[in-house]
């Protein structure tokens, strides 16, 4: 089974900050990596698919990069509505998706 890890598990940041979240797979997954945002009490929302493709309607301040085992989600300038938990997900072994444990982004 492919295991996913994320770092950090949480971070505090201010509006306007550049934020970077890292996701690592236990084996190479090429670019089969997606990122989701989840706010409390809400369903997850797809942000990035195929490691670096921006989902329709998602602001361009979100970007993804990486391939193989190491991936990054970057928020170029954190906005108030971006405070949430972010999950990576591998789709290499689709449809048996595996999610990372999540990174909570809160207000400093």
What is the 8-class DSSP label of residue 72?
E
Is 87 in a helix, a strand, or coil?
A: strand
Interface of this chain with other proteins, residues 70 to 99, rule: CB under 8 A = 87, 89, 91, 94-99
Q: Provide, rounded to whole angstroms, the least separation between the CB of residue 46 and other proteins.
A: 5
Applying CB under 8 A, among 23, 25, 36, 75 the residue interacting with other proteins is: 36
| Phi, then psi, of 98 in degrees rounded to 5 | -130, 130
Q: In this structure, what token pair is assigned to residue 28?
A: 């190479």
Pairing of strands 4-7, 33-38: unpaired
Question: Any contact of residue 43 with other proteins (CB under 8 A)?
Answer: yes
Q: How far is the CB of 56 from other proteins (least distance, A)?
A: 9
Q: Which stretch binds other proteins (CB under 8 A): 15-23, 39-47, 60-68, 70-78?
A: 39-47
- Neighbouring residues of 89: CB distance < 8 A, sequence distance ≥ 6: 4, 33, 34, 35, 36, 97, 98, 99, 100
The residue ranges that bind other proteins (CB under 8 A) are: 31-32, 34, 36, 38, 42-46, 49-50, 53, 55, 87, 89, 91, 94-102
């Amino acid at each position: 089974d492919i295991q996913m890890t994320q770092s950090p598990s949480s971070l505090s940041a201010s509006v306007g900050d550049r934020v970077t979240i890292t996701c690592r797979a236990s084996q190479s997954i090429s670019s089969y990596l997606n990122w989701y945002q989840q706010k409390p009490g809400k369903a997850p929302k797809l942000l990035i698919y195929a490691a670096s493709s921006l989902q329709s309607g998602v602001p361009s301040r979100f970007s993804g990069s990486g391939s193989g085992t190491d991936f990054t989600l970057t928020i170029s300038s954190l906005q108030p509505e971006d405070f949430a938990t972010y999950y990576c997900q591998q789709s290499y072994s689709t449809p048996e998706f595996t999610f990372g444990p999540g990174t909570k982004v809160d207000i400093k």
